[in-house]
Amino acid sequence: MTTTALPDTDALRARAEQALHRCGARLPAEGAAGHLAARTPLTGGTLLTLPMTTSEDADAMIAEARAAFLEWRTVPAPRRGALVKRLGELLSIHKEDLAGLVTIEAGKIHSEALGEVQEMIDICEFAVGLSRQLYGRTMASERPGHRLSESWHPLGVVGVISAFNFPVAVWSWNTAIALVCGDTVVWKPSELTPLTAVACAALLRRAAEDTGAPDGVHRLLLGGRECGERLVDDPRVALVSATGSVRMGREVGPRVAARFGRCLLELGGNNAAVVTPSADLDLAVRGIVFSAAGTAGQRCTSLRRLIVHEEVADELTQRIVHAYGQLPVGDPFQPDTLVGPLISTAAYDAMAKALETAQADGGKVLTGGDRQLREAAPEAAYVRPAVVRMPAQTAIVREETFAPVLYVLTYRTLHEAIELHNGVPQGLSSSIFTRSQREAERFLAADGSDCGIANVNIGTSGAEIGGAFGGEKETGGGRESGSDAWRAYMRRATNTVNYSDDLPLAQGVNFL
C-alpha cells in the first residue's frame, strides 16, 4: 500500500522553523567557513542552511566544556540531577516540537518520533534517580583497623557523536547520565539531522539557566567528519561515545586509544530472530514485522535475519509477506502510514545492490524492494520493505544493509539455528520466539546468543532505558543508558583508610 500525497518542502520548512522558535533555538546566519544544509528525506529538499563549526570554534568549545567541568564536578550529584530534571520537564513541554523535527529530518513515522522523545524523558527520570545512587563498594580489609572501599568520581569532558537514525534519543542517553555523573558534554550530531540537535541544545541551555548550572556544561559542534575528528583526537575529551558504522568505529577506537582516552562504541547490528516450531506465530509475526520494517529498517536493532524452523518456515513466511503487503508507505506525518522514507537515495541504492547480490547468491525476493512515489518525490527514497528467502547465509546476509531487507533462512536443530545466529561479525540484538522454556533458556545461556541484547518472544528492536544498551564483537562492546552503564562516565578510586595506631603492611610484609 502506498499513500500518494506528500508534504511540500516549503510547508516542512515552516513547520521546522516554528518548532525551533518554540524551543528557543537561535539560528545564526551562514558563516564564511561554510554551511551545513539541513535536508528532509520526506521530499529530498533543503530546509535551512546552518553555519558549520570552525576549527577555532571547536577548540574554544572544548576549552569551555573543560573549564565548566572543573566547577561542575564539585557540585553534589543530587544538585546535578536538578539540571537533568529540568531538562526532562522541558522535553515534556516540547515533545511534539521535537518529534516533528525528528520526523522532518530523519523520516520516522510520527508515532515512532514521539516514542523517541519519550525515551529522552524516560532517561532523564532515570538519571535523576541515579544522581542519588552513584554507589561504591566497601570491601573487607586483611589489615586490622583498616577500611577498604571504592569511590566514583566525574571523568571529564564527554564527546558524543550520534547518528541520524536516533537523532535525539542517543544524545540524551549519554548526556543525561554524563551530567549527573559530573561530566560536561560536547555533542557532534549527524550532519543529516542538525535541526533536532539545535533544538535539543537550546532546551538544555535553558535548563542550565533555570537551575544555575555552568554555561559550558554542554556545547554543540555542527559539521562533518572534521568536527568528529576534533573530539576523537583532543586529549581534553576524556570519553568519546560514538554511534555509527563499523567502519567509523575502526577509525575512532584506535585513535582514542592512542592518546589513552576512553571509548564507548555502539556500531553496526545484523540482528536475527529464531522462530521454533512451538512459537506463537501470531505473536511472532507482530514482533518480526515491526522489528524488520519499523523505521524503514533504519534502526541499529532492526531485524535483518529470520532463522525459522523448516516445519513452520513456509507458513510464517507467507504470513509475513501478507503483512508486508498491508504496510502503508508514504508521508510519515499521516497517522495511517507505517513506513516512511529512507534517509537518502544513496540508502536506496545500497538496498537495491544488496537485493541484486542476494538474488545472484540464489535468493528469491518474495515481496518489496521497489521504489515508491518516485514521480511525486524524485529526490526522496520511499521503498516497500523486502523479504528475501535465502538458501544459505551468504556474504551479503552477513553484512548489515541499513534498509528494510529481511533475509529468511531455515534450520533443523536449535544448535544449527544458534550457529547461524552467531555466524556474523556483529552482535547487538537478538530474539527467539518459542513456547518452550528449555529452548528459551538455551538461547539465553552462555553458549546461546552472543549478542549484548537477547530477547524471548519479542522482536530485536524496542529496548527500554532501564537496561544497558550495547553489543559485542563488531558492534563495539560499549554500554549506554540504564543498569550500571553510568560507570563508563566516571573514574574509580580504591581507598584505604587506616584508623588504627599501627601500620601493618599488606600481605604480612615486614619492613623497618
Residues belonging to the active site: 266, 300
Q: Are 218 and 187 in contact (CB under 8 A)?
A: yes
Query: Could you give the angle at which helices 281-293 and 313-325 cross, rounded to 10 degrees?
Result: 50
How far is Cα of residue 54 from the mean position of the Cα atoms in its chain?
27
CB neighbourhood size of 461 (10 A): 22
Spatial separation of the C-alpha atoms in residues 474 and 478, rounded to whole Å:
11
Query: Could you give the angle at which helices 77-93 and 169-180 cross, rounded to 10 degrees?
Result: 150
Q: Which residues have a Cβ under 8 Å from the Cβ of 369 and sit 6 or more positions away? A: 351, 352, 355, 383, 384, 386, 405
Spatial separation of the C-alpha atoms in residues 330 and 109, rounded to whole Å:
9
Spatial separation of the C-alpha atoms in residues 404 and 97, rounded to whole Å:
27
What is the pairing mode between strands 386-389 and 271-275? unpaired
The partner residues of 282 in beta bridges, in order of sequence, read: none
Residue 137, amino acid:
R
Assigned C-alpha cell, 326: 498491508
What is the pairing mode between strands 157-161 and 184-188? parallel
Q: Are 172 and 465 in contact (CB under 8 A)?
A: no
The partner residues of 494 in beta bridges, in order of sequence, read: 150
Q: If you search the block for the grid coordinates 520466539, which residue do you land on?
A: 433
Helices and strands of the chain, counted as H and E runs? 15, 23
**Using alpha carbons only, what angle is made at residue 7 by residues 92 and 290, rounded to the nearest 5 degrees?**
60
Q: If you search the block for the grid coordinates 521504489, which residue do you land on?
A: 371
Each residue of 144-180: b (16+ CB within 10 Å) or e? eebeeeeebebbbbbbbbbbbbbbbbbbbbbbbbbbb
Residue 437 to residues 40, 256, 279, 357, 419, Cα–Cα distance (Å): 46, 43, 11, 38, 19
The full DSSP string for 170-188 is HHHHHHHHHHHTT-EEEEE
Query: Could you give the angle at which helices 194-211 and 95-106 cross, rounded to 10 degrees?
Result: 160
Residue 211, amino acid:
T
